């Protein structure tokens, strides 16, 4: 199963990119378009897990592109061999993995490109694309059987 605690962090994906409220004037924008990544002192930030970090509102971590997706990848824990292929290939760092164990998909930043499904080596695949509004249980119930090698 996906790690729901990691998937439901307070600051992740709280802003939509299409939301234009809160646009400030020329007197309040940052000098040089320089955008701080974190709030406050970030000296020890490398030692903190993402859910413990104080990401700033300029950080893409706090914005979501979930609405751009038409289809979503669904992760099946029971088949995954934790090879980390999807983690390596994902162009949007949307594969959540800890201590080389695959935990699930960051649906706030996944754009549904399907690269993770493409590179998944298991049989059947541990990641498959489903319609955006398909429930997790429903998707898992439809998972295909192992394909037999053609002789």
Query: Environment class of residue 71 by beta-carbon count within 10 Å: exposed (0-12), middle (13-18) or buried (19+)?
Result: middle
* CB distance 42 to 94 below 8 Å: no
**Residues 105-124 contacting other proteins, CB under 8 A:** 111-112
Distance CA 55, CA 49 (A): 11
Is 31 a binding residue for other proteins by CB under 8 A? The answer is: no
Distance CA 97, CA 3 (A): 10
Q: Least distance (Å) from other proteins to the CB of residue 44? A: 30
| Torsion angle (degrees, nearest 10) of CA 88, 77, 80, 116 | -40
From residue 65 to residue 84, the character string flagging contacts with other proteins as x (rule: CB under 8 A) and all else as - is x-xxxx--------------
Scanning 6-14, 19-27, 54-62, 97-105 for contacts with other proteins by CB under 8 A, the matching segment is 19-27
Please say which residue, 44 or 67, places its beta carbon nearer to other proteins: 67
Size of the site for other proteins (CB under 8 A): 18
- Count other Cβ atoms within 10 Å, centred on residue 107: 19
Q: Least distance (Å) from other proteins to the CB of residue 21? A: 11
Is 23 a binding residue for other proteins by CB under 8 A? The answer is: yes
Contact with other proteins (CB under 8 A): which of 18, 52, 99, 150?
18
Element housing 140 (H / E): helix 136-141
Positions touching other proteins (CB under 8 A) are: 16-18, 23-28, 32-33, 65, 67-70, 111-112
């Amino acid at each position: 199963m996906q790690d729901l605690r990691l998937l439901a962090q307070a600051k992740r994906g709280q802003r939509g990119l299409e939301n234009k409220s809160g646009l400030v004037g020329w007197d309040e924008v940052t000098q040089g378009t320089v955008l701080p990544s974190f709030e406050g002192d970030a000296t020890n930030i490398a030692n903190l897990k993402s859910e413990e970090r104080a990401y700033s509102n300029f950080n893409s971590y706090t914005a979501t592109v979930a609405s751009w997706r038409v289809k979503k990848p669904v992760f099946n824990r029971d088949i995954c061999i934790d090879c980390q292929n999807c983690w390596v290939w994902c162009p949007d760092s949307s594969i959540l993995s800890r201590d080389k164990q695959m935990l699930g998909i960051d649906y706030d930043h996944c754009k549904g490109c399907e690269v993770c499904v493409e590179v998944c080596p298991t049989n059947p695949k541990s990641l498959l694309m489903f319609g955006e509004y398909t429930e997790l249980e429903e998707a898992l119930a439809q998972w295909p059987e192992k394909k037999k090698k053609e002789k």
